[in-house]
Amino acid sequence: MRAPLSIVIPTLNSADELPGTLVSLMAGVESGLVRELIVADGGSTDDTVAIAERVGARVVTASSGRGVQLNAGARCAGGDWLFFLHDDTHLGDGWADAFQDHIATNSAAGFLKLGFRAKGVAPAIVAVWANIRSGLGLPYGDQGLLVSRALFDTLGGYQDIPLMEDVAMARALRGQLVRLPVMAMTSARRYRDQGWIRRGGRNILILISYLCGSDPHQLAARYYR
């Protein structure tokens, strides 16, 4: 029986973060769960592509933008299940077994519980909010998305928008999303650089604006400013 899972990681100048993420995936490779690793690169000018190629990943080049890159990776994937993962998110212990169990028993899509690779009160508070939000059916991309190929194709893939492609997908999957008993430990770099309160508050405002119908292109301009 062929391994069922294709992992898709969108990258852009990810050389600092990608190695740790790849290391966390080795348990799935060793267990026979992972069929292939696809890195969908948006035009990196650092060593991202070389790092991916050294571990045997298939590198797909796409226009910059997570939605576009995720779809480009998915088009090349041969697994019956797809797992979309950010380049700076490390999977916690036991993820391969949890994925195997889910694939064998459940047709719904799955996401992970979020944590930060940082200590302190602020990371804990932001993680609690993120897990409340995702429990209400709105997980972000840094919590990963495990979805069957059939369900992904039925939904038409990710929307081609510069921001909130993960929220759009979560809304399309409403009623077909479950939380898996696995931690997704993501980088705290942007929060440290911009401030936990400032970054967290801005993320909430952008989410509310999107849910109220604001143009994702305008929101992206604000987000990346």
pTM of the model: 0.96
The residues, any chain, with a CB within 8 Å of residue 163's CB and separated by 6 or more, are 206, 210, 216, 217, 219, 220, 223
C-alpha–C-alpha distance, residues 77 and 58, integer Å: 10
Domain of 65, CATH number, reads: 3.90.550.10
Q: Report helix, strand or coil for 212.
A: coil
Short-list 55, 43, 68, 64, CA closest to 18: 55
Based on the structure, what is the number of domains in the chain? 1
In the numeric block, the tokens 């769960």 are attached to: 33
Is residue 1 predicted with pLDDT exceeding 70?
Answer: no
Q: Give me the DSSP letters along 37-106.
A: EEEEES---SSHHHHHHHTTPEEEE--SSHHHHHHHHHHH--SSEEEE--TTEEEPTTHHHHHHHHHHH-
Residue 224 confidence (pLDDT) = 81
State phi, psi for 184 to the nearest 5 degrees.
Answer: -110, 110
Q: How far is CA 33 from CA 10, 39, 106, 169, in A?
A: 20, 18, 16, 24
Strand 5-11 versus strand 81-84 pairing type? parallel
Is residue 61 predicted with pLDDT exceeding 90?
Answer: yes
Contacts 24+ apart (CB under 8 A), 31-35: 31/96, 31/97, 31/100, 32/3, 33/3, 33/4, 33/5, 33/96, 33/99, 33/100, 34/3, 34/5, 34/6, 34/7, 35/2, 35/3, 35/4, 35/5, 35/6, 35/78, 35/79
Rg (CA), the chain: 16
Q: pLDDT grade, residue 20 (50/70/90)?
A: very high
C-alpha–C-alpha distance, residues 172 and 169, integer Å: 5
208's enclosing H/E stretch is: helix 196-211
Tell me the two tokens of residue 161: 């928008």
Mind listing the pLDDT tens digit for each residue in 171-215? 999 999 999 999 999 999 999 999 999 999 999 999 999 999 999
Structural domain harbouring 168: 5-223
Range 52-80 average pLDDT: 96
Q: Cβ–Cβ contacts within 10 Å for residue 121, how many?
A: 8
Mind listing the pLDDT tens digit for each residue in 79-138? 999 999 999 999 999 999 999 999 999 999 999 999 999 999 999 999 999 999 999 999
Mind listing the pLDDT tens digit for each residue in 161-173? 999 999 999 999 9
Beta carbons of 169 and 149 less than 8 angstroms apart? no
